[in-house]
Structure 1
Amino acid sequence: MTSLRLLQHRAPDGKRSVILAEDSAAHFLRDVRTVRELALQAIATGETLAATARACPTGDPVDIAAEFAAGRLLAPIDHDDPAHLLMTGTGLTHLGSAEGRDKMHKAAASGEHQTDSMRMFLEGLEGGKPAAGQVGQQPEWFYKGDGSQLVGPTDPFTMPSFAQDGGEEPEVAGIYIVGEDGTPWRLGFALANEFSDHVTERHNYLWLAHSKLRQAALGPELLIGTPPESIEGTSRILRDGKAIWEKPFLSGEANMSHTIANLEHHHFKYDLFRRPGDVHVHFFGTATLSFSDGVKTQEGDVFEISAAPFALPVANPLTRAEERAVTVKVL
């Protein structure tokens, strides 16, 4: 199966370009500055994103692994106005995801003591994959922030000064743009790290919203076309160059309790998420966390996530912001 991907590149002089990669070959697209511009062109002409990219004049070939190592690859989607890029996500969507969540909350998972997490997971397992044309069970949903919180594939994660933890969440994210008539268009999928504060979440599940207001990273490639049913990858944490934790993770519909279409429906059913021109990055969840295995991260650790058919990983070091007083003034 051919793997067609789009990447965003920034040269040392600041010039931006788009790269089209197909299997192991890649080349620049001439006169295309961003993936968002290319997507809007595809919508306007009624062509697929793949056909629109392939129709662009071909530029020089490029070694995407070398450009990744040099730090010249950006997140595969962004917006000139970060306020018009929204990052959201759904949890308890993967087979096995309830186990890690329940371990996190140290709660029983049966009878009258069943946790809300387990109840939601079981409801998704039963109704998250409805028949064609029907609406399935709605999932857990959360907000992560706007485009100012999206970092590149090798950029540092900066957790707030007040954060109790900084932990990885290896995922696949759906990338969308809203057309002029309010129609959401899926551009494709990206490898992602939906970085979260699991200590804060564990304290009280109602603090989940606080724990998710953190940065997130996308791998450099936007996979376009039909995604594989099963995506198998590896998540690991490097400390001083050595892996202190490593574990496989699974994604794709074959490993999920919801269909992608069901998750998309329950996000875009809200009018405020169908604002023309907006970009949406929606994280689909995971069942694999180092936190569930008792790992305590520290500044300087590098979260590295890789998975085929993506050729490149997402690898972000952990840092902490300096404490800064916040004062609310009265006018």
Structure 2
Amino acid sequence: MPQAIFRIETDTLPLIGLLTTGSDEPTRYFSVDDAQLRDASSNGLNGIRAILTADREVPHTAEYDAAPRLRPFHAAPSADGLVSGFMRSHVSKMPERTSPREPVEPARWFFKGIDRWLRESGDALHVPADAIALIEEPEVVLVFLSDEQGDPKYAGYTLGNDLCDIGLHLKDPAYNPYCKLCETSLLPYVFLDTPPTSVTGTVTITRNGQTSWKGDFSCGTDSLYYTADEMVGHFFSYPIVRRPGALNYVFLGADSASYHDGYRIADGDDISIDFASHNVQLNNHIAFTPASVVTAS
């Protein structure tokens, strides 16, 4: 299992935690701030690993272990944190796949929002009150930080739930940008490794305290129709996303889920995603949220 980093805030300084999820080994903590971590990421995974040195390590305390765990990366103050991803990216959704493929068509891409919109495990995920049919989507999420020249550097991967309104998308694919305007959650951990070939686990949905749906899932690069390099290579060919100091979370797409099994997520459901292969869980409450009437007058 690859090591993962996360961030905590203390009364005196920010710290980066380093752990192996599911291990009994104690978490190590390092005095590394946002700017130092961004600078280190300009040398990719090796640069991030290299900054977690003994001279920056601080003594382990129970207080640190009890602190809320937060995502470790921020965009530079002059840049943005963007969230986007790919759809219809899995082999199961592209049965006509042949190899080799020449030319390779671009994967279908969507924009999800900015990183401040992302939610943590334990948060409610708010969706429109008139959502047609929601779907949970356990996914691998690649993390990129752009250096001072605007070149994106791979900084590891995390895992998330790209909740969306598949019913709206199926009604009319042109509505997909609206479909994706459902809140999304990420783990606080970034795994310091190449994109995983396989991530497996189980989704459990509870309603009124009782299990209402349960099913297994699999994602990772072995499940993809495209290679990860093909997907991010085309995405980052656009200068607008290659800005100095930018942070990009890139969802690689999901396979089938509760919707495809006939289940319909309702207001008040609780979704628990057990990423068993990585010994981590992501838990969120679904909140249908009425909106006030907005006019242009």
User: Normalising TM by the smaller chain, what interval?
Assistant: 0.7 to 0.9
Match of 1:39 in 2: 38
Deviates more, 1:163-172 or 1:248-257: 163-172
Q: Distance in 2 between matches of 1:168 and 1:45?
A: 31
Deviates more, 1:162-171 or 1:86-95: 162-171
User: Which SS does the other structure have where 2:291 is aligned?
Assistant: coil
Structure 1 51/22 Cα, relative in aligned 2: closer, same or farther at 3 Å?
farther
Q: Deviations over 1:226-276 (max 9, x none)?
A: 344222122221223432211111112222211111111121010101011
Per the TM alignment, residue 294 of structure 1 is displaced from its structure 2 partner at its CA by: 1.6
Structure 1 92/219 Cα, relative in aligned 2: closer, same or farther at 3 Å?
same
Residue type of the partner of 1:31? S
User: Which SS does the other structure have where 1:126 is aligned?
Assistant: coil
Match of 2:17 in 1: 19
User: Which SS does the other structure have where 1:90 is aligned?
Assistant: strand
Deviates more, 1:261-270 or 1:24-33: 24-33
Match of 1:126 in 2: 98
Match of 2:109 in 1: 141
Q: Distance in 1 between matches of 2:72 and 2:285?
A: 19
Contact 1:188/1:224, CA 8 A, preserved across alignment: yes
Contact 1:307/1:313, CA 8 A, preserved across alignment: yes
Per the TM alignment, residue 59 of structure 1 is displaced from its structure 2 partner at its CA by: 2.5
Match of 2:245 in 1: 277
Residue type of the partner of 1:57? R
Match of 1:200 in 2: 168
Match of 2:47 in 1: 48
User: Which SS does the other structure have where 1:247 is aligned?
Assistant: strand
The one of 158, 168, 190 aligned to 1:222:
190
Q: Distance in 1 between matches of 2:78 and 2:164?
A: 20
Q: Distance in 1 between matches of 2:177 and 2:145?
A: 24
User: Which SS does the other structure have where 2:98 is aligned?
Assistant: helix
Contact 2:32/2:56, CA 8 A, preserved across alignment: no
Gaps of 5+ in 1: 99-120
Match of 2:154 in 1: 186
User: Which SS does the other structure have where 1:7 is aligned?
Assistant: strand
The one of 206, 210, 214 aligned to 1:246:
214
Per the TM alignment, residue 9 of structure 1 is displaced from its structure 2 partner at its CA by: 2.5
Matched residues, percent identical? 24
Match of 1:236 in 2: 204
Match of 2:261 in 1: 293
Q: Distance in 2 between matches of 1:322 and 1:28?
A: 44
Residue type of the partner of 2:18? L
Residue type of the partner of 1:175? V
Structure 1 135/8 Cα, relative in aligned 2: closer, same or farther at 3 Å?
farther
- Higher normalized helix content (fraction of residues): 1
RMSD: 2.9
Structure 1 135/47 Cα, relative in aligned 2: closer, same or farther at 3 Å?
farther
Residue type of the partner of 1:239? R
Deviates more, 1:271-280 or 1:48-57: 48-57
Q: Distance in 2 between matches of 1:82 and 1:288?
A: 39
Match of 2:7 in 1: 8
Per the TM alignment, residue 313 of structure 1 is displaced from its structure 2 partner at its CA by: 1.1
Per the TM alignment, residue 53 of structure 1 is displaced from its structure 2 partner at its CA by: 2.5
Deviates more, 1:180-189 or 1:315-324: 315-324
Q: Distance in 2 between matches of 1:231 and 1:297?
A: 23
Contact 1:76/1:218, CA 8 A, preserved across alignment: no
Residue type of the partner of 1:153? S
Per the TM alignment, residue 171 of structure 1 is displaced from its structure 2 partner at its CA by: 0.7
Per the TM alignment, residue 135 of structure 1 is displaced from its structure 2 partner at its CA by: 7.1
Instruction: Give me the TM-score of the superposition, normalised by structure 2.
Output: 0.86
Per the TM alignment, residue 31 of structure 1 is displaced from its structure 2 partner at its CA by: 2.3
Contact 2:41/2:145, CA 8 A, preserved across alignment: no
Instruction: Give me the TM-score of the superposition, normalised by structure 1.
Output: 0.78
User: Which SS does the other structure have where 1:246 is aligned?
Assistant: strand
Q: Distance in 2 between matches of 1:83 and 1:324?
A: 32
Gaps of 5+ in 2: none
User: Which SS does the other structure have where 1:261 is aligned?
Assistant: helix
Structure 1 61/146 Cα, relative in aligned 2: closer, same or farther at 3 Å?
same
